[in-house]
Amino acid sequence: MVPTEKRTSLRFRYHGGLKITWDRVLLNGRVRDIGAGGMFVVISDPFPIGAAFTAVLVAENPVLLKCVVRWIEPGRGMGVSIVTPGQEERKRFAALIGTLAGNRSLGKSRLSLLYKFMAKVYG
């Protein structure tokens, strides 16, 4: 079941690896799209709604994320909200989202909303 759209931030297409730790189990996933407030994780056996886990976004500058499952697509993956736990992680994550936003023509008003959202969430 795909839920009604509740996102508060823009999403950007992003294909990258994700190293997941959930209940002391290490798993690999892939990111399909990502935004300042969440991402979709491609994984064959999604976790239950409400499950919390940590993940490292595999990138040039890896980013540690704390995630909570918000919705699932059985057999495909899960939509998660994300929080970056530390100052350095927030800076790296904000830089990644800023790069993705810069690679897409958003228009001034949408880009301004993105930056306001990120400033509010990530300081």
How are the residues of the chain apportioned to helix, strand and coil, as percentages rounded to the nearest 5?
Answer: 25, 40, 35
| Res 37: pLDDT | 85
For residue 32, what pLDDT is reported?
93
Asked, for residue 77, whether it belongs to a domain, the answer is: yes
For position 34, which CATH number holds?
2.40.10.220
* Tens-binned pLDDT, residue by residue, of the chain (123 aa): 555 555 456 778 888 899 999 999 999 999 999 988 899 999 999 999 999 999 999 888 888 999 999 999 999 999 999 887 788 888 888 888 878 877 654 455 555 555 555 565 555
Q: How far apart are the first and last CA of the chain?
A: 34
Has residue 104 been placed in a domain? yes
Q: How many domains does one find in the chain?
A: 1
The pLDDT value recorded for residue 106 is 46
| Phi, then psi, of 7 in degrees rounded to 5 | -65, 145
| pTM, 2 dp | 0.75
Asked if residue 22 belongs to a domain, the reply is yes
